[in-house]
Amino acid sequence: MENYIVEMLNITKEFPGIKANDDVTLRLKEGEIHALLGENGAGKSTLMSVLFGLYQAEKGKIKKNGKEVKINNPNDANSLGIGMVHQHFKLVEVFTVLENIILGVEPNNKGFLKKEEARKKVMDLSEKYGLSIKPDALIENISVGMQQRVEILKMLYRDNEILIFDEPTAVLTPQEIEELLSIMKDMAKEGKSILFITHKLNEIMDVADRCTVLRKGKYIGTKDVKDTSKEELSKMMVGRDINFTVEKEEQKPEDIILSIRNMNIASNVQDKNAVKNLSLDVRAGEIVCLAGIDGNGQTEFVEGLTGLEKIESGTITLCGEDISKASIRQRSIAGMSHIPEDRHKYGLVLDYTLEQNMVLQRYWQPKFQKNGFIKFDEVREYAEDLIEKFDVRSSQGPVSKARSMSGGNQQKAILAREIDKEHELLVAVQPTRGLDVGAIEYIHEQLVERRDAGKAVLLVSLELEEVMNVSDRILVIYEGEIVGELNPKEINVQELGLYMSGAKRDSEKEKDNG
């Protein structure tokens, strides 16, 4: 008899019209890292929400240390020692780190806070697990990585022994991911049991002891990670073989499409410029990847390039036309397509229908309007065409609200819109963020297809694997400067990491630019 700390047996959770979990069994051993793998919508989060008391299952039971328990709400879960780091953090932005950690369980003396006591406990925990934090910083001022550490400390502060991580790496940089994974290992060593929701196979291979796979709400199986392979797991997850390497022909770069010279952009958080004297060229028929750790000026660079913010100085030339001061619309007409980093904030009007979103860049063109009146028939026809061509799935076709669509299909819709629009340059910013392997594969294929069609592609990415796989040429950005130009065929991930962390730079390249 194995020693299971938590068992979820034959859990079935139904929502009207759908079985989110169908007879799913998950057993967590004490002190192990147990990965829960599945595509978007496979029911991973629902299962964890049942364990955390957010939902009640219709069928099945939950056992803790062999005894059946009833978890009606997160407070029950908490008192059983179950803690959860949600994908979207639940932090009070205007409170300090320390205040957030103790929120709800404040040590007090007749209503007066005993902050020093709390601080000591928090700092002890932080030291013990290597979770470096600034206890007095406000949440709104710290990085996403540190916010996540705050969430972890919240669980540790409450002496939770079963820790649920809901896609914890989706928002982190490669370095932060590495750090987090080693922290998770340490915590497991200390006897904590960890449930780790993810769809990134590499992470599972790195840290997990066992892995349970769900597909469309059904239990597929549980594997010992050391006895399995990425290929096997992905087949279990998707139900078919997945191609991990992006297949592409030799590139044939042609004329320069985009040329940036000495671009400077002010930072909105500090006095220093976020982008410093940046120059780069992108040719037709190549994918150039701007690689770097998050927060090294990529966001500002893209805003400056696409016209969302003004640049301080420098020139941007697109197809021979100076667009340094052009409006967003003018840049779009000049041939720029843009897949934005934040698909909800910029890429879509979530309360508009799919067809309305499909013409977001083109509604003003004569094809879609006459004398200011929208030609609805044309819009519908165009949207249906794109939906079919790009296989965008939604519940009601062109009239589905964008908000009701899955992340992968939302991204497909944006991709369809930006690719189908007349363009010479495609700026794709973290186009695969938060997507599952099937969707990632599709997006990568499309980027390569653009390149082969003779378009220039500028990909901004934080994912090392994506950088190495998709690009023809890598430019590394560090603190707002290009510090290296690399050929993905000639370097390895470790070397790329050195450039990205600023430990190494091309000295010649520097001179060229200067």
Partner 1 sequence: MARKENSSIRDNFSIKKITKSKGFSSFTAALMAIFLGLIFGFIIMLVANPQNAFSGFRYIVLGGLGRFGDVLYFATPILMTGLAVGFAFRMGLFNIGASGQYTMGMFFALYVGFMWDLPGATHWIVAITAGFIGGMLFGLIPGIFKALLNVNEVITSIMFNYIGMYLVDMWIQNNSAMYVSEMTRTRYLPDSVQLPALGITGSNVSLGIILASLIAIVLYIVLEKTTFGYELKATGFNKYAAKYAGMKGKRNIILTMAIAGGMAGLGGAFAILAPAEIAGSSMTYEPINIIAANGFTGIAVALLGNSHPVGIIFSATFISLIQRGGTLTSLVGYKPEIIDIVISVIIYFSAFAMIMNTSIKKFLIKKLGIKIKDEDSESADLVDENSESEEVQ
366 binds partner 1 (CB under 8 A): no
Residue recorded with tokens 């470096």: 132
d(CA 286, CA 511): 24
Which residue stretch of 27-35, 277-285, 349-357, 480-488 sits at the interface with partner 1 (rule: CB under 8 A)?
349-357
Among 6, 20, 57, 163, binds partner 1 (CB under 8 A): 20
216 binds partner 1 (CB under 8 A): yes
Q: Which is nearer to partner 1, 173 or 394 (CB)?
A: 394
Tell me the β-bridge partners of 61: 9
Residue recorded with tokens 């997507």: 435
Q: Which is nearer to partner 1, 64 or 218 (CB)?
A: 218
Q: Which residue, among 274, 351, 285, 337, has the nearest Cα to 306 in the 3D structure?
A: 337
| Interface with partner 1 in residues 368-407 (CB under 8 A) | 369, 372-374, 376, 393-396, 403-407
328 binds partner 1 (CB under 8 A): yes
237 binds partner 1 (CB under 8 A): no
Q: Which is nearer to partner 1, 283 or 423 (CB)?
A: 423
d(CA 188, CA 236): 26
Q: For residue 442, what is the enclosing H or E element?
A: helix 437-452
- Helices 437-452 and 407-420 cross at an angle (nearest 10°) of 10
430 binds partner 1 (CB under 8 A): no
Among 100, 148, 356, 461, binds partner 1 (CB under 8 A): 356
Q: What single DSSP character describes residue 77?
A: H
- Half-sphere exposure of 253 toward its Cβ, with a 13 Å CA cutoff? 14
Which residue stretch of 99-107, 359-367, 381-389, 459-467 sits at the interface with partner 1 (rule: CB under 8 A)?
359-367
Cβ burial, residue 142 (10 Å; 0-12/13-18/19+)? middle
Which residue stretch of 49-57, 176-184, 258-266, 491-499 sits at the interface with partner 1 (rule: CB under 8 A)?
49-57
Among 4, 23, 29, 40, binds partner 1 (CB under 8 A): 40
Site string for partner 1, 263-302 (x = CB under 8 A): ----------------------------------------
Size of the site for partner 1 (CB under 8 A): 64
Paired tokens of 353: 């229908």
Paired tokens of 222: 């549980």
Contacts of 105 (CB under 8 A, 6+ apart): 157, 158
Q: Which is nearer to partner 1, 255 or 364 (CB)?
A: 364
User: What dihedral do alpha carbons 469, 471, 476, 481 form, nearest 10°?
Assistant: -150
> Cβ 510 to partner 1, closest distance in Å?
33
345 binds partner 1 (CB under 8 A): yes
Q: Which is nearer to partner 1, 29 or 216 (CB)?
A: 216
Q: Taking the CA atoms of the chain, what radius of gyration do you get in angstroms?
A: 25
Among 18, 92, 105, 493, binds partner 1 (CB under 8 A): 18
Among 45, 147, 234, 432, binds partner 1 (CB under 8 A): 45
d(CA 205, CA 35): 10
User: What dihedral do alpha carbons 46, 48, 49, 51 form, nearest 10°?
Assistant: 130
Distances (CA, A) of 146 to 52, 70, 112, 477, 478: 23, 33, 28, 22, 20
Paired tokens of 185: 């290992």
Residue recorded with tokens 């990491």: 497
Among 126, 169, 198, 332, binds partner 1 (CB under 8 A): 332
> Cβ 469 to partner 1, closest distance in Å?
24
d(CA 38, CA 365): 42
198 binds partner 1 (CB under 8 A): no
SS3 letters for 225-276?
A: HHHCCHHHHHHHHHCCCCCCCCCCCCCCCCCEEEEEEEEEEECCCCCCEEEE
Which residue stretch of 35-43, 105-113, 115-123, 506-514 sits at the interface with partner 1 (rule: CB under 8 A)?
35-43
| Interface with partner 1 in residues 299-318 (CB under 8 A) | 306-308
> Cβ 256 to partner 1, closest distance in Å?
24
- Helices 376-390 and 407-420 cross at an angle (nearest 10°) of 110
> Cβ 476 to partner 1, closest distance in Å?
27
| Interface with partner 1 in residues 145-174 (CB under 8 A) | 166
> Cβ 116 to partner 1, closest distance in Å?
34
Paired tokens of 403: 């908000």
Any idea what the Cα angle at residue 288 is, between residues 285 and 292, rounded to 5°?
Answer: 170
- Half-sphere exposure of 483 toward its Cβ, with a 13 Å CA cutoff? 23
> Cβ 502 to partner 1, closest distance in Å?
30
Among 268, 364, 381, 495, binds partner 1 (CB under 8 A): 364
Q: Which is nearer to partner 1, 41 or 304 (CB)?
A: 41
Q: What single DSSP character describes residue 353?
A: B
| E runs forming strands in 116-209 | 162-166, 193-198
Which residue stretch of 13-21, 201-209, 253-261, 271-279 sits at the interface with partner 1 (rule: CB under 8 A)?
13-21
Among 5, 36, 48, 263, binds partner 1 (CB under 8 A): 48
CB atoms within 10 A of CB 401: 17
Q: Which is nearer to partner 1, 200 or 509 (CB)?
A: 200
| Interface with partner 1 in residues 74-133 (CB under 8 A) | 86-88
Q: Which is nearer to partner 1, 133 or 387 (CB)?
A: 387
Residues that bind partner 1 (CB under 8 A): 15-18, 20, 40-43, 45-46, 48-49, 54-55, 86-88, 166, 216-217, 306-308, 327-332, 338, 340, 344-352, 356, 360-361, 363-364, 369, 372-374, 376, 393-396, 403-410, 434
